[in-house]
């Protein structure tokens, strides 16, 4: 959920994450394997979302079951995403994968799709439409995992700068629940400033420059807008560092590694952009008539360099941009290689999709 440039090719070890499955739903099989998939991404120009879409394309190509992936990627609201869903209904797609900007407001359009026999899979954040499938990082646990690690790093006392994502976004709401459930346990810790970054790197960095002052905070929790905050610490805190929660972004991994010797405690919480590929796998299983969990959730991890040196070292991608999401596979759900992910080819774009 961050703004980045386009991805560069690379071959490296990837971060893996566990999946926890909820209750199951059984779907009737579709008539053929020549499936058409619609993708609604309501945030264009965002590298995390671009990787999500590329993961859908790569997994679709490798599956040999998909003829087309139709993508609507634009900056829009619930009304715009509802229009995208209705356009996909008119195009008679077999399944719609949507990263929802709102949990409830898109429900009427999603209900129309489900009524038309189209399978609906929400990725990254939940929707409440009956009959929709959810494939997501467990966002509530994401908030809690980072908060617990931050509390430990702060010795369970001090002031926290709380830097959230987008107000009202389903993922932000759930992360907030998880974060605050942990904060409520530690009476000597207090959120003394809460701000929204809108998951914008420049805004997050500017807020950090404005707010970070020596002695004012003893820790920072960010909703994945991390490495600019570290840069602000370098200039604002006179060479001293306070613990900071971020995500598995490439530059933050490097900072966590290289600044550990200077006392910096970076807390890396996993949030893989390739959740889109897992959503495609679930869509195909549902279309094939398999019994599928109504909700598939990733269990986020929280790493520090002291405790997880091996994992952080192997997850950093030399040559990749600062905002690159380092988890490039989800075992049991995605099958593409890094090279196939970065080719970002849908079945209709590629004549050799299985090539490494």
Q: What token pair was written down for 111?
A: 């209900």
pLDDT in tens, 293-349: 999 999 999 999 999 999 999 999 888 889 989 888 999 999 999 899 989 999 999
Binning pLDDT at 50, 70 and 90, where does residue 239 land? confident
pLDDT at 13: 35
Evaluate the CA torsion angle 76, 82, 87, 88 in order and state its sign.
positive
pLDDT at 319: 85
pLDDT at 195: 98
pLDDT in tens, 106-137: 999 999 999 999 999 999 989 999 999 999 99
Question: In the chain, pLDDT over 90 holds for what percent of residues?
Answer: 82
Evaluate the CA torsion angle 87, 170, 329, 3 in order and state its sign.
positive
Q: What is the mean pLDDT of residues 284-300?
A: 95
Binning pLDDT at 50, 70 and 90, where does residue 140 land? very high
pLDDT of 67 above 50: yes
pLDDT of 62 above 50: yes
Q: What is the mean pLDDT of residues 225-250?
A: 95
Residue 353's nearest CA partner among 67, 154, 129 is: 67
3-state DSSP: the chain helix, strand, coil percent, rounded to 5?
Answer: 35, 20, 40
CA 224/CA 137 separation, integer angstroms: 13
Binning pLDDT at 50, 70 and 90, where does residue 32 land? low
Region of residue 155 (left: phi > 0; alpha: psi -120 to 50; beta: else): left
Residue 221, classed as helix, strand or coil, is strand
Question: In the chain, pLDDT over 70 holds for what percent of residues?
Answer: 89
Q: What is the mean pLDDT of residues 221-244?
A: 95
DSSP H helices, 127-249, are 139-153, 170-183, 201-211, 227-236
pTM: predicted TM-score of the whole model, two decimal places: 0.83
More confidently predicted of 328 and 144: 144
């Amino acid at each position: 959920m961050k703004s980045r440039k386009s991805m560069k090719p690379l071959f490296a070890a990837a971060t893996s994450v566990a999946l926890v499955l909820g209750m199951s739903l059984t779907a009737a099989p579709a008539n053929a394997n020549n499936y058409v998939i619609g993708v609604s991404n309501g945030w264009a120009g965002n590298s995390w979302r671009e990787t999500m879409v590329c993961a859908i394309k790569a997994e679709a190509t490798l599956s040999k079951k998909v003829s087309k992936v139709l993508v609507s990627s634009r900056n829009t609201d619930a009304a715009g995403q509802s229009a995208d869903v209705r356009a996909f209904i008119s195009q008679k797609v077999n399944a719609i994968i949507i990263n929802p900007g709102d949990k409830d407001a898109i429900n009427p359009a999603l209900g129309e799709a489900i009524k038309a026999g189209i399978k609906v899979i929400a990725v990254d954040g939940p929707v409440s439409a009956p009959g929709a499938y959810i494939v997501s990082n467990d966002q509530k646990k994401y908030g809690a995992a980072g908060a617990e690690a931050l509390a430990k790093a702060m010795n369970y006392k001090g002031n926290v700068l709380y830097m959230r994502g987008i107000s009202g976004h389903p993922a932000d709401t759930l992360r907030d629940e998880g974060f605050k459930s942990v904060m409520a346990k530690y009476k000597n810790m207090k959120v003394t400033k809460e701000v929204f970054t809108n998951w914008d790197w420049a805004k997050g960095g500017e807020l950090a420059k404005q707010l970070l002052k020596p002695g004012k905070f003893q820790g920072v929790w960010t909703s994945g807008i991390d490495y600019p905050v570290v840069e602000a610490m370098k200039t604002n805190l006179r060479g001293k560092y306070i613990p900071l929660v971020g995500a598995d972004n490439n530059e933050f991994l490097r900072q966590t590694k290289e600044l550990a010797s200077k006392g910096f405690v970076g807390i890396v919480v996993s949030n893989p952009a390739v959740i889109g590929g897992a959503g495609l796998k679930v869509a195909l299983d549902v279309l094939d008539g398999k019994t599928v969990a109504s909700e598939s959730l990733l269990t986020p991890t929280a790493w520090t360099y002291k405790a997880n040196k091996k994992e952080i070292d192997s997850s950093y991608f030399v040559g990749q941009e600062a905002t690159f999401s380092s988890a490039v596979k989800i075992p049991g759900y995605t099958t593409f290689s890094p090279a196939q992910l970065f080719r970002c080819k849908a079945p209709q774009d590629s004549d050799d999709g299985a090539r490494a």
